[in-house]
Amino acid sequence: MTGLAGSRAADAKRQAPVASRFSGFAVQSAISLVSTALIGVALVPAFIQAFLDKPLYYPEAAFTLGNFARLFTDPEIVRTFGTTGLFCLIVVSFSMVVGTTLAVLVGRTDLPGRGALLGVLLWPLFISPQIIGFGAILAYGPYGLITAYIGDAIGVPRPWNLYSVVGIAIISGIAAAPVTMLYCIGAARQQDPNHDAAARVVGAGPGRILRRINLPLMRPALVFALIMNIVSALEALAIPLILGNPVGIRLLTTMIYDLSFDRGTPNYGLVAALALMLMALVAVLFLFQRLVLAGSHRFVSLGSRAGQLRTLPLGRWRWPIFAGVVVYILIAIAALLGCVALRAVTQVFSPDISPFEVLTLANFETILSIDVYVRSITNTLVLAVVGAAAGTALIAGVALVAQRSDYPLRRAVDGIAQLPRVIPGFIVGLGVFYASVFIPGASVLRNTIWLLFVAYLIRFLSSGYGIVSPALLQISADFDRAAKSVGAGWTTTMRRIVLPLSKPALLSCFILLMILIIKEYASAVFLMAPGAEVMGATMLALWLQGQTGPVAALAVLQVALTAVMTVAAKQLLGVKLHG
């Protein structure tokens, strides 16, 4: 060791670089500033607008509380509250019951083919709700294929009415059920097998274990799923718009949409006030969730994960239940997507004409030859790649500051990253639109896809953060401390140690953002302009104009894109998007 000892004196002078107490402070500040500015863009103009009597770009706009007063006095708006409440109740009940049941069946029982079933049952997650809406009209609408077949078979024309609050809510529930499933299946599977074993040893049967051990342990997941369901029901726009608007059923969201588009002069103040109220409602729900889940350590599985989770035997109900699940898939997923696909390859779509007599590729030719459609496809693809890349970088930065730094405001940064979860998508779009009017110089972005880019960064900040942040928690902080102790600064530690270790999570985040951007419509409807079309918003606009054929073709394309991406992500990158 003489060699080591000899060069030691020289080393003392060659110590790690100049001292600074705030290693990485500048970088951390920049990340915090960017994320705060983005959220500010989405919220501040909308907030100001809510208290103005004229659009905020009018110089003579004055302060008023009239917008909020009108919310509670206008009989039309008050009626909407009731409808929205009923709608939410049905959507949430449907989604919770169906989602939890399916999660337990697929996650914990010996249901035949449960792996494959799970994949299919989760499909709606990756599909834009408006496509589910289109499918619902084509299959179960008054002139829908299945409505007609069933009607003929039982001799009752139009045995149900899709265009009712209940009908709209059930279709929305079908779109929401996979979310419940996703939250619950993780909880169902992650339970310590020893809980089961312990209950078995003391003499509990499978049913009792499920009722007394498994379901109670899933409570945090159930509460979380419940809140997320209420939030997504409150912010649902596409399905209520497609199904409800033609017959005059209005929810809060569709009313905001109408107020900002349909009437001659958009009443931006009222729209903003409605939007703020919607957000306040969502925020209260999240607060409630925090309260309910305080002390959730009671539900954390303690101890080792040794041993296999034994599946609960369904016994003689195994095949009947399997049949039930398959029927649900046929009715709720296959029929909807099948009808959209059929519509895409037929000239006319009517129960009176066999679809196979009118097969055509004309719809695809249309979307590949008309400028607006082509642009919306290329714009979507550009935004998906660029947006997902930039979004992942932003999310990684935010997560590192919030989780892996001594930055004084890191708690606030964490809060900011969670905030977009409570901002309904179209409000993000509205906010960015307001900001583009309000912020000097921002108008150059108008009518370009870059305004959408900003909206997407805001909109999906929480979604990506939800993947990256827990993954960071899995990486021991000892790695950072070790790097620090050998002389690495914050930026170096993040770049060389933590980021490389979170590569799988960052890849998952990137893929998820691509999928979300491809299917996104809610934040895009206010920002779409000639030249800046995207698939989601184009489909919605064209459907409302009655161009169902090209819309169906676009929908098929969108689903195909998403499917290719999901499969590629799984096969090539080994990315897990759920579970």
Partner 1 sequence: MASVAVANLSRHFGRVVALDDISFSVADGEFLTLLGPSGCGKSTTLAALAGLDRPTKGTIRIGDRILFDGASGVFVDAQFRNLGLMFQSYALWPHMTVAQNLDFTLELRRIRGAEAKRRIDETLSLVDMIDFADRYPGELSGGQQQRVALARTLVYQPEILLLDEPLSNLDAKLRDRARIWLGELQKRTGVTTVYVTHDQAEALALSDRIIVMNKGRIAQIGTPTEIYETPSDVFVADFVGASNLIDAELALQPGGQATARLPNGEILRVNPGPSGPVTLAIRPEKIVIGEDGGPPDNRVVAKVLAKSYLGARNLYVIGIGGQRLRVETNAGIDATEMPIRLPMESIRVYPRA
Q: Which stretch binds partner 1 (CB under 8 A): 103-111, 187-195, 476-484, 557-565?
A: 476-484
We find the least distance from the C-beta atom of residue 186 to partner 1, in angstroms, to be 25
**Closest CB to partner 1 among 321 and 475?**
475
CA–CA gap between residue 361 and residue 445 (Å, rounded): 36
Q: How far apart are the first and last CA of the chain?
A: 52
Angle between helical axes of 268-292 and 25-50 (0-180°, round to 10): 120
Regarding 573 and contact with partner 1 (CB under 8 A), the answer is: no
Regarding 246 and contact with partner 1 (CB under 8 A), the answer is: no
We find the least distance from the C-beta atom of residue 296 to partner 1, in angstroms, to be 23
Q: Which stretch binds partner 1 (CB under 8 A): 19-27, 306-314, 361-369, 449-457?
A: 19-27
Regarding 473 and contact with partner 1 (CB under 8 A), the answer is: no
Regarding 26 and contact with partner 1 (CB under 8 A), the answer is: no
We find the least distance from the C-beta atom of residue 503 to partner 1, in angstroms, to be 8
We find the least distance from the C-beta atom of residue 408 to partner 1, in angstroms, to be 14
What is the 3-state secondary structure of 223-260? Answer: HHHHHHHHHHHHHCCHHHHHHHHHHCCCCHHHHHHHHH
Which of 55, 193, 338, 489 touches partner 1 by CB under 8 A?
489
Looking at beta carbons, which pairs linking 256-264 to residues 24 or more positions away fall under 8 Å? 256/426, 256/430, 257/426, 257/525, 260/430, 260/526
Q: Which token pair is 290?
A: 């925090």
Q: Are 275 and 252 in contact (CB under 8 A)?
A: no
Regarding 570 and contact with partner 1 (CB under 8 A), the answer is: no
Regarding 93 and contact with partner 1 (CB under 8 A), the answer is: no
Q: In whole angstroms, what separates CA 305 from the centre of its chain?
A: 31
Q: Which stretch binds partner 1 (CB under 8 A): 9-17, 78-86, 318-326, 345-353?
A: 9-17
CA–CA gap between residue 362 and residue 346 (Å, rounded): 8
Q: Coil, strand, or helix at residue 342?
A: helix
The structure tokens 């402070």 sit at: 25
**Closest CB to partner 1 among 4 and 306?**
4
Which of 310, 421, 484, 576 touches partner 1 by CB under 8 A?
484
Measured on CA atoms in the order 246, 252, 254, 259, is the torsion positive or negative? positive
Work out the number of other CB atoms within 10 angstroms of the CB of residue 164: 14
Q: Which of residues 491-520 bind partner 1 (CB under 8 A)?
A: 492, 496-497, 500-501
Q: Which stretch binds partner 1 (CB under 8 A): 15-23, 160-168, 375-383, 439-447?
A: 15-23
Regarding 476 and contact with partner 1 (CB under 8 A), the answer is: yes
Q: Are 365 and 165 in contact (CB under 8 A)?
A: no
Which of 12, 153, 154, 202 touches partner 1 by CB under 8 A?
12
Q: Which stretch binds partner 1 (CB under 8 A): 85-93, 261-269, 475-483, 540-548?
A: 475-483
Q: Which of residues 159-218 bind partner 1 (CB under 8 A)?
A: none
**Closest CB to partner 1 among 60 and 478?**
478
Q: Are 314 and 111 in contact (CB under 8 A)?
A: yes
Which of 251, 488, 525, 554 touches partner 1 by CB under 8 A?
488
Number of H helices, E strands in the chain: 30, 0
We find the least distance from the C-beta atom of residue 322 to partner 1, in angstroms, to be 41
Distances in Å between the Cα of 338 and the Cα atoms of 31, 220, 432 are: 45, 36, 36
The one-character DSSP state at 575 is -
**Closest CB to partner 1 among 29 and 418?**
29
Which of 286, 299, 438, 479 touches partner 1 by CB under 8 A?
479
Give the closest residue to 287 by CA, choosing from 226, 230, 232, 227: 227
**Closest CB to partner 1 among 322 and 479?**
479
Looking at beta carbons, which pairs linking 220-223 to residues 24 or more positions away fall under 8 Å? 220/187, 220/293, 220/296, 220/299, 221/183, 221/184, 221/186, 221/187, 221/188, 222/96, 222/100, 222/183, 222/184, 222/187, 223/289, 223/292, 223/293
Size of the site for partner 1 (CB under 8 A): 31
Which of 304, 308, 369, 485 touches partner 1 by CB under 8 A?
485
Regarding 97 and contact with partner 1 (CB under 8 A), the answer is: no
Which of 330, 482, 560, 568 touches partner 1 by CB under 8 A?
482
CA–CA gap between residue 112 and residue 109 (Å, rounded): 9
Q: Which residues bind partner 1 (CB under 8 A)?
A: 1, 3-5, 7-8, 11-12, 14-16, 19, 21, 23, 476, 478-479, 481-489, 492, 496-497, 500-501
